[in-house]
Amino acid sequence: MPRISRFYFAMAIIYLLIGIGVGLHMSIAHDHSAVGAHAHINLLGWVTSALFGGYYALNPVKAGGWLPWAQCGLYSIGLVVMLPALYLMLTGTPGVEPAVAMGSMAVAAGVVLFAAVVFTRGRGIRASRMMPQPAE
């Protein structure tokens, strides 16, 4: 599996643990005010990151060069700014909205770069070259 896929899955599972933690906390406290943060931690943090990681694992040719890491960097920094700020905003901390906005923009930019990865030729290792060669 390419290094970028391992990074994405490591990040994704951490967000799933946090997202489920927030979901359990909401359920136990009977206070669903953080539902927007719970939904986006799980869907942007776990599901979308795992989809990105899965895409690079299935298309190792797309995992080489600077573009995938620029995509991954923007998306990851966006999430780490957006998601905690969204949780704080929804649970009543004032003044964090600009962080939610800036994080969201970085996430959106990371998604635009992912579209570029999908629609351009890759510079990594072709999957066929990674296959074990048949014995002579």
The DSSP code sequence of 4-29 is HHHHHHHHHHHHHHHHHHHHHHHHHH
Torsion of the alpha carbons at 107, 110, 112 and 118, rounded to the nearest 10 = -140
Q: How many residues bind ligand HEM (CB under 6 A)?
A: 21
Among 67, 102, 108, 109, binds ligand HEM (CB under 6 A): 108
Does residue 27 interact with ligand HEM by CB under 6 A? yes
DSSP single-letter state for residue 59 = -
**Per-residue three-class SS string for 70-115:** HHHHHHHHHHHHHHHHHHHHHCCCCCCHHHHHHHHHHHHHHHHHHH
Residue range at the interface with ligand HEM (CB under 6 A); choices 2-10, 22-30, 52-60, 121-129: 22-30
Asked if 96 is part of the footprint of ligand HEM (rule: CB under 6 A), the reply reads no
Among 1, 13, 14, 36, binds ligand HEM (CB under 6 A): 36
φ/ψ of 122, rounded to 5, equals -85, 165
Is residue 104 within the footprint of ligand HEM (CB under 6 A)? yes
Stretch that binds ligand HEM, among 1-9, 38-46, 62-70, 114-122 (CB under 6 A): 38-46
Give CA 115 to chain center in angstroms: 14
**Residue 48 in contact with ligand HEM, rule: CB under 6 A:** yes
List of residues contacting ligand HEM (CB under 6 A):
19-20, 23-24, 26-27, 32, 35-36, 38-40, 42-44, 46-48, 104, 107-108
